Amino acid sequence: MPSDRASKEESRTVVECHSVVKSFGSVHVLRSVDLEVRESEVLCILGPSGAGKSTLLRCINHLEGIDGGWIKVTDQIIGYELRGNKLHELSERAVRRQRGLCGMVFQHFNLFPHFTALQNVMLGPVEILKQPRGEVEARSRLLLDRVGLASKVSVYPSQLSGGQQQRVAIARALAMNPRVLLFDEPTSALDPEVVGEVLRVMLELAEEGRTMIVVTHEVGFAREAADRVAFMFDGRITEIGPARAVLEKPSEARTAEFLSHVLV
């Protein structure tokens, strides 16, 4: 429960977006997004399709470059380097190192089909971070155990249900020891009966104090796990505040209307 956790007023900022602008050609996807996420805070982002929620997450991980403003994760500006008063694009190598700050969980899991569950989890730490195999394996087994898949270590993704695949994907993200977890509609591609098992894992992560940004349509999850909820419309964050307050008494008409659609 968010209320059970220590107050985060004094804890430090992990993710900070400042006037972030992004467009694809003539399509303005992000029009000045400002956002601050503090250590061990859970922020849920809600909003209609096309609002730019995925794009925002992808920018935070520098899977997309931005056209204006800046994004900081911990104390690093993502993807760019401030020299004088200009932001210069970083080298691929430096970007790669920064990507370790964020762990990403995708709507369609994107597990590697030619590797087993355990290999999927170990691949990053062993081959990308060059950590010792033995250690990584032990840690990966623990992670799979934590997401309830201890019995599936040597199974391939195609033999797992959607919910199981998504839990492996969460373990894979955790294995990289990220400072913040980014979830992009992690349950949208799942059959209704397995949504719960994934949300339960996410709730546990929230309770143990992980910093998380979760794009979701699961209002119930937002109410239960989020410290704050943000609404995104047309490339802007139009409303942000404590979960209960925003979900129950939205101050914006658009938010209220959106919620009335989602909550049917």
Partner 1 sequence: MRSHDGTGAQKGRSGSTSLIAGGAPPYEPASAGGRASTYEIVRRKHPWRFAAAIVVLLLLALLLYGAANAHQLHWSVTGHYLFNRAVLVGVLRTLEITAAAMMLGLALGVIFGIMRSSHNPVLRGVAWLYVWAFRGTPIILQLFLWFNLALIFPRIDIPGIAHGTTVNIITPFLAALLGFGINEGAYMSEIIRGGLLSVPPGQTEAALSLGASHAWTTRRIVLPQAFRVILPAIGNDTLQMLKLTSLAAFISFNELFGTTESIYYANSEVIELLLVAGAWYLVASSVLSVVQYYVERKFGRGFQRGRQQALVERVVLRAMARLRTRAV
Nearest to 226 by CA among 236, 218, 235, 237: 218
Residue count (the chain) = 264
In terms of phi and psi (left: phi > 0; alpha: psi -120 to 50; beta: otherwise), the region of 57 is alpha
Q: Is 61 in the site for Mg ion (CB under 5 A)?
A: no
Question: Binder to ligand ATP among 53, 99, 167, 210 (CB under 6 A)?
Answer: 53
Question: Binder to Mg ion among 54, 61, 119, 166 (CB under 5 A)?
Answer: 54
The one-character DSSP state at 250 is: -
**Cβ-based nearer residue to ligand ATP, 52 or 103:** 52
Helices H / strands E in the chain, number of each:
9, 12
Min dist CB 54 to ligand ATP, Å, is 3
Span of 13-21, 50-58, 132-140, 218-226 interacting with ligand ATP by CB under 6 A: 50-58
Binding site for partner 1 (CB under 8 A): 61, 63, 92-93, 96-97, 99-100, 102-104, 106, 108, 110-116, 119, 122-124, 126-129, 156, 158-159, 172, 176
CA distances from 83 to 17, 88, 261 (A): 19, 7, 46
Question: Binder to ligand ATP among 41, 42, 52, 79 (CB under 6 A)?
Answer: 52
Phi, psi of 81 (to 5 degrees): -135, 130
Q: Is 29 in the site for ligand ATP (CB under 6 A)?
A: yes
Question: Binder to ligand ATP among 3, 7, 26, 49 (CB under 6 A)?
Answer: 49
**What's the rounded Cα separation, in Å, for the pair 227 and 9?**
12
Q: Which positions lie near ligand ATP, rule CB under 6 A? A: 24, 27, 29, 47, 49-55
